[in-house]
Structure 1
Amino acid sequence: MTMAVDPIMMTLVQKRLDHISRYMGWAMTRTAQSPIFSESHDFSCFLSNARGDALSVADGLPIHTGGGDFAVRAVLRDYGGDLHDGDVFLLSDPYEAGGNHLPDWTIIRPIIVDDRFLGFASNRAHQSDIGGGAAGTYNAAATEIFHEGIRLPVLRLFERGRVREDLWRLLLLNSRTADLLDGDLAAMVGSTRTGRDRVVALAREYGLSETEGVFSAILDHAQTLMKEMIRTIPEGVYYGEDVSDTDCFESMDVPVRVTLTVKNEHLHVDFSGSAPQIRGFKNSSIANTSSAVFLAVMSFFNGRVPQNQGAMRQMTIEAPPGTVVNALPPAPMTMNTVHPTSEIVHAVWRALATAIPLEGYAGWGKTCYCISSGRKDDGRTYVMYHWNGSSGAGAVRGRDGFPAAGQLCTLGGMNLPNVETYEQIYPVKIHRSEMRKDSGGAGEFRGGTGLEYSASTYQPAEYSFRSEGSRKPTGYGIIGGEPGVKGTIAVTPLDGGDAVALPQYGIMQLGSARVDVSSPGGGGFGDPLRRDPLAVQRDVVDEIVSPEMARDVYGVVLSSNLLAVDLLATEALRQELLGVRCPTP
C-alpha cells in the first residue's frame, strides 16, 4: 500500500462495492430469461481492480467467484494493451480462458474512467444450454471436453460499445435454447454495465488516485485479517480426505486427498496423492479447484475475513497436473463445480477439523436428482433442473444444518425454484416437495434434512442423472455426530410400467414419467444424547424426526400426544443408552 487510507473510508468503499455487486445481481435477476437465473440465482457478480484481483464478490455462488481472477487475468493476458471504454469480453473455457467449466460463461467489462483503467465488472452465469451431447449441458456420457458444448476462449463481444453481431449469432446457433440465451446474455451484459456505471460514479466522487489507494487498502486489510485467522490454527500438518465412488461409468474409489500445512501465518494446501483424472466429467480445472479451496477456508472462518483476493495471498495451492483436481486436456469437466468440488471442500474441512475440532463442519449430503429436457408444444426446447430434490447441509457447533440447502458449492446461495412457477413454464406437475423425516444426521446439533420430492412430466423427455449421494451416506458426522442418510431416486412410467433401472450418472430417453427423489441429509455435530430434549420434541412435532428416532437415537421420551418431554424417563433412558454404548468393564 503506497498511501495511508482512512479506515472509515476504506470500510465505506468496501460496503459500496458490495452493494454494487448486489445491485448487479438484482439487475440480472429481473431481466434474465431463464428460470435458472430469475428463479434459482445460478450466477455471480464480482468487481476487480486493474490487476484482476477480486475486490467484492458480494452477490452470487462462492464456487463461481473464488476463481474469478483466473478469468479476468485471461482477459488481461490477451487484451491487456487493447482495452477501451465500451468493450465487453466473453469466455468459458477451463483450459484456455480461466473458466470453471464450459456452461459458466463469464462476461467481463473493463471500467475506464476519464481514459484511466480502474478495473472490471464481471458476471459469471451458468447457461441453460451450450450445445454438446445432451440438452442442458450436463452430458454424463462425455469422455472428453469436446462432447460438452462450445468452448469459448477470451472473445471481444462488444467493441467500443458496438456488439459483434456475427459472434452473437454464432453463440445462439450453438444453443438448443437460443431464445433464452439471447435474453440471458443481454441481461449479463446489462448487469456489468450497471456495475461499471456505479464504480465510475464512486471513483469520480472520491477521485481516481484515492479510489485506487482504497482498492489496495481493501486487499491489504483482508490479508491482515486472514493472517489473524490463520494464527488461530496451531502450526502443524493436517490431513483430510473425501472419496467419490464412481468415475461416472463404473464403481471405483476416486479420492481427493489434502495435506494442509500451517506455518508462519500461511496455509499451504497440497493435493498430492489425489486420484488421477477420470474418464467421466467430474474433473476439476485449476481455477475451479482454487475456488473450492477458497470456499472451504473462507466458510471455515465463518465470514470473519472479507471475501476478496487479499485473503488468498496467505494461501498457496499445489494441485498436481493430471489429477482429478487439475486435469489435463481433453478431460471432460462439466460436473466439476459440484463434484469434485464437494470432495475438495470436505477434504479441506476434515483437515481443518483435525486442527480445531470444535470449529469443524459436518458434511453436506451430495447430489441425488436429475435434469429433464424436451420440446414444448410450440417446438422450443426446455431444460428443467429438479433442484427441489436438494440435499441437507451439515451441522456446526451451536447450529443445526440447513434443510434442503442445495449443492455444497453454493453454500445455500442458490434458491429452490418456486413450484407454481415451474408448473407454469414446464410440462410438469409437482406432487410433493417437503422435508424428509429422519434424514438429517443425529447429533447434539442435527444435520439438515433432505427433501421428499415427486414430479410428473407429461411428455417424452431426456433425463440426465447425477446421483452421487445414492449409494452411501455422504454427509459425514463429526465429534460423535452421525451421518445423514443416503438418497434415492426412482423414475416410473406414467403408463403403469415398472420403475426404470437408473444409472448413477447417465442420459436416458424416457416417455412420460414420474420422478421420485428422497435426497440425502447433512451430518450431525456432537453426541445425539447431548441434544436438548426440547429441541428433539420440536423436531418430532415438526415431523423432521420420528418418535422412534427420538427415543432410540436421542434418548428422549415424549408424552403420548408428543407435546411434552418426560424428563425423568429421558434421563434414565439416556443413562441406559450410554451404558449400552460404553459398557462397564
Structure 2
Amino acid sequence: MTATTSPPLDPVTLALVQNRLDHISHQMGWVMTRTARSPIFSQSHDFSCFIADSRGTLISQADGIPIHTGGGGFAVRAILRDFGGAIEPEDVFLLNDPYTAGGNHLPDWVIARPVFVTGALVAFACNRAHQADIGGGAAGTYNSAATEIFHEGIRLPVLKLIERGRTRDDLWRLLMLNTRLPEALDGDLRAMIGSTRIGADRLAALVEELGTDRAGDFFEGVLAHADRRFRSCIDRLAEGVWRAEESVDNDCFEPIDGRIVVALTVRNSRLVVDFAGTSPQVKGFKNSSIANSTSAVFMALSSFFEPDLPRNEGAFRSVEIRLPEGTLVNARPPAPMTMNTVFVAHEIVHVMWKALGQALPERASAGWSKAVHSVTAGLKDDGSRYVMYQWAGAPAGGGVEGRDGFHLIGHLITLGGLTLPNLETYEQLYPVRFRRQELRCDSAGPGRFRGGAGCDYEVEMFTAADYAFRGEGVGAPSSYGAAGGRAGVGGAVTLTLADGSEIQAPKYGVQRHGPGIYHALSPGGGGYGDPRTRDPARVLRDVRDGVVSAAAAERDYGVAITADGRGIDAARTAALRA
C-alpha cells in the first residue's frame, strides 16, 4: 500500500486561520477588560491572552503584554507534563510557580482551559494576569525586601481549579485566604475563567470548520510559516558573533557591579543566544526564570524586525537560547523573582537590541528608560484595604531611524501594551488627589530622532501608607543613545510629609509613611543620531510642546529659538551648527 499524505494547505485559508487565532486572543482580552474587578486589569491591561496547540506550542499571542506571552508555552507544557492523560473536558487549570509550573513570576497567574472537539484535545485557551495581591511580605505583590521566593506570596504548582465543570471550593477558599484583597481576586479570577470560556468556544468552532482531522495541519502550518518568515529576517543579519552587555548596579539592597552579557551568533539562518558571563543570581527579587528570560529574548527578536511578523513559537524554531544556571537569567531556587518581568527582562532586551544593532545597524534602536514606580497600600476611611499602583512613574521609549521615542510609554517589556489609568477613577477608588501628570521637560535623550520624555507626576496621599519602592530608574540615566544620540536623564522619587520633611525614595525598599505628597520624575528614553542634525522645525515643535526648553534646544541641538518662543533664529542657528 502507498502511504497517504495530506493535501497541501491553501495559503489563503492558512492566513485566515492565523488571523482567526489572533482575533480569538483579542476577544478573550476584551472580555477580561470588561469584566475584571481590579483597575490593574480593567484599566491598565496588565494581563495577556494566548493560545497553544495540543502539544503546548504557542500558536497565537496577539493580545496583551509581550513578556507575559512569549513564555506561555512553558506553562501549558507543564500542564501536559503533570496531568498527561488526566485532562478532561470542562477542566480549568491554574498555576504560577516559576520553578515548577512554567511561570515567569508569582503574581502572574495562568488560567488555562483545554479545548476538546469530538472528544479530542485540540488546543488550550489561556489568560496570564498579574494579580493585585497574592499575600507575601508586602501588600501589592511587590515585596522589595524579599530575599527568597517564600517572601513573595503563595506558590501554585499546576492545579485543577475546575474539574469537569465543578469548581473546587476548597482550593478557591485557600486562594481567598492568601490575599489581602479577596473580593478583588474573586472577581478577577472569574473574569479570567470567563475569558478562556469565550476563547475555548471560538477555538472549538474554528476546529469544527477546518475539520478535526485537518486542524492540526493548519496549526502546524502557521508555525512553519512563522519559521520561514523569521529565517528570512536572520538572513539579513551579518554573520558572526555579536556581543553586548548591560549593567546591573544593585541587588535591591546595595550597589553591585553586575551585568547581563550576551553573545549572539548568526550562522546558516540560525541564531545562538548565549548568556555565558552573566552575573550570578542576586539577593533581591530581580532574578529571572527560564520562561521569563526566554520570553524576553523572543520579545527582543520579534520587536527588532517588522511589526507584521507572526507572534507564535514557530518564529523561533531557528533560535537556540543558552541560559547558564545560577545566574540572573536562570536562578536556582529559592531565589526571589517578582521583579523579573520588568528587571532583568529590560536588560535582556537591551543587550539583544545592542547585539542585533551591530549585525544590522540600519535597524538599531536607542534604549528605553526604566521606571520609578511604587505600590502604595493602606486603609480607606471605611477600614477596607486598598492597593494602588503608581503607574504614572512611567518611563519612555528610545528613538530609531525615522521616528522619535515614545513619551512615557511604560515598561519596555510591555511595548506599549500597559496603559496609564484614568486619574478621575483612581480618585474615586483610593484616598488620593492628583496634582500633576505631565511630560517632563528636558528629560528626553537628544538625537536626530530624540528619545521620549518621562513624566512629572505628583499625587497627594491622604492616609498613612506602606510604600513598596521599585524604582530602577532612580538616579543615573538608564537608557542609552544609538548612532551618536545620547541617553535621557535619570529619575527621582520624593515624598514630602505633612510636617514638611522630605524623603528621597530608594531604588528598592518597603517603608511606611504618613500622609503627604508623592512626586515622581520618570527618566527619558535615549536619542538616535547626532542631535545637531535634527530638523530645526522638529526642535521648535518640541520647544512649543514643552518637551525641550529653549536653552536645551540651543545647547543640545544647536537651534536658537526667538525670544517669543514661536520661531527659529536662523542666523544664530547657522552659527551654532557651523
TM-score of the pair, normalised by structure 1: 0.97
Cα drift, residue 280 of structure 1: 0.3
Matching of residue 275 in structure 1 with residue 279 in structure 2: yes
Cα drift, residue 375 of structure 1: 1.4
Choose the corresponding residue for 2:561, options 538, 549, 558. Answer: 558
| Correspondence for 2:416 | 412
Residue deviations 1:89-133 (CA, integer Å, cap 9, x gap): 000000000000000000000010110110100000000000000
Residue deviations 1:63-105 (CA, integer Å, cap 9, x gap): 0000000000000001121111100000000000000000000
Residue deviations 1:225-282 (CA, integer Å, cap 9, x gap): 0110000001100001111210011011220000000011111100000000000000
Matching of residue 78 in structure 1 with residue 77 in structure 2: no
The one-letter code of the counterpart of 1:26 is: W
Cα drift, residue 563 of structure 1: 2.1
Cα drift, residue 212 of structure 1: 1.7
Matching of residue 50 in structure 1 with residue 54 in structure 2: yes
The one-letter code of the counterpart of 2:210 is: Y
Matching of residue 496 in structure 1 with residue 499 in structure 2: yes
Write the mapping of 1:471-550 to structure 2, written as runs, cut at 5 A: 471-493=475-497, 495-550=498-553
Choose the corresponding residue for 2:405, options 401, 405, 409. Answer: 401
The one-letter code of the counterpart of 2:243 is: Y
1:74 counterpart SS class: helix
Residue deviations 1:124-171 (CA, integer Å, cap 9, x gap): 000000000000011111110000000000000011111101101100
Residue deviations 1:483-542 (CA, integer Å, cap 9, x gap): 00000110111x223112432200001111211011000000000011111111000000
1:257 counterpart SS class: strand
Q: How far, CA to CA, are the matches of 2:385 and 2:100 in structure 1?
A: 30
| Correspondence for 1:180 | 184
Choose the corresponding residue for 2:194, options 190, 194, 213. Answer: 190
The one-letter code of the counterpart of 2:380 is: K
Distance verdict in 2 for CA 1:3–1:107, change over 3 Å = farther
Q: How far, CA to CA, are the matches of 2:171 and 2:73 in structure 1?
A: 24
Choose the corresponding residue for 2:104, options 82, 100, 113. Answer: 100
More deviation, 554-563/154-163: 554-563
Asked whether the 8 Å contact 2:406–2:453 carries over to 1, the reply is yes
Q: How far, CA to CA, are the matches of 1:323 and 1:3 in structure 2?
A: 47
| Correspondence for 1:373 | 377
Q: How far, CA to CA, are the matches of 1:190 and 1:179 in structure 2?
A: 17
Matching of residue 456 in structure 1 with residue 460 in structure 2: yes
| Correspondence for 1:421 | 425
Residue deviations 1:21-58 (CA, integer Å, cap 9, x gap): 00100000000000000010000000111111111111
Q: CA RMSD in A?
A: 1.0
Residue deviations 1:407-455 (CA, integer Å, cap 9, x gap): 1110111000111111110111111000000101000001000000000
The one-letter code of the counterpart of 1:99 is: G
Choose the corresponding residue for 1:351, options 330, 349, 355. Answer: 355
| Correspondence for 1:89 | 93
1:69 counterpart SS class: helix
Unaligned ranges ≥5, structure 2: none
Cα drift, residue 13 of structure 1: 1.0
| Correspondence for 1:361 | 365
Cα drift, residue 568 of structure 1: 4.0
Q: How far, CA to CA, are the matches of 2:385 and 2:84 in structure 1?
A: 39
1:112 counterpart SS class: strand
Write the mapping of 1:107-146 to structure 2, written as runs, cut at 5 A: 107-146=111-150
Q: How far, CA to CA, are the matches of 2:84 and 2:181 in structure 1?
A: 33
| Correspondence for 1:583 | none
Q: How far, CA to CA, are the matches of 1:281 and 1:191 in structure 2?
A: 30
Asked whether the 8 Å contact 1:177–1:380 carries over to 2, the reply is no
Give the fraction of aligned pairs with identical amino acids, expressed as a percent.
55
The one-letter code of the counterpart of 2:274 is: D
| Correspondence for 1:578 | none
The one-letter code of the counterpart of 2:68 is: H
| Correspondence for 2:389 | 385
| Correspondence for 1:582 | none
The one-letter code of the counterpart of 2:546 is: E
Residue deviations 1:351-371 (CA, integer Å, cap 9, x gap): 111112221111111121211
Q: How far, CA to CA, are the matches of 1:78 and 1:379 in structure 2?
A: 42
| Correspondence for 1:572 | 575
Asked whether the 8 Å contact 1:112–1:200 carries over to 2, the reply is yes
Asked whether the 8 Å contact 1:146–1:330 carries over to 2, the reply is yes
Q: How far, CA to CA, are the matches of 2:303 and 2:315 in structure 1?
A: 12
Number of residues of Structure 1 aligned to a counterpart in Structure 2: 574
Asked whether the 8 Å contact 2:391–2:420 carries over to 1, the reply is yes
Asked whether the 8 Å contact 1:244–1:468 carries over to 2, the reply is no
The one-letter code of the counterpart of 1:274 is: T
2:246 counterpart SS class: strand
The one-letter code of the counterpart of 2:548 is: V
The one-letter code of the counterpart of 1:490 is: T
Q: How far, CA to CA, are the matches of 2:121 and 2:149 in structure 1?
A: 35
The one-letter code of the counterpart of 1:174 is: N
Cα drift, residue 471 of structure 1: 2.0
Matching of residue 154 in structure 1 with residue 154 in structure 2: no
Write the mapping of 1:179-258 to structure 2, written as runs, cut at 5 A: 179-258=183-262
Matching of residue 325 in structure 1 with residue 329 in structure 2: yes
Asked whether the 8 Å contact 2:473–2:507 carries over to 1, the reply is no
Matching of residue 291 in structure 1 with residue 311 in structure 2: no
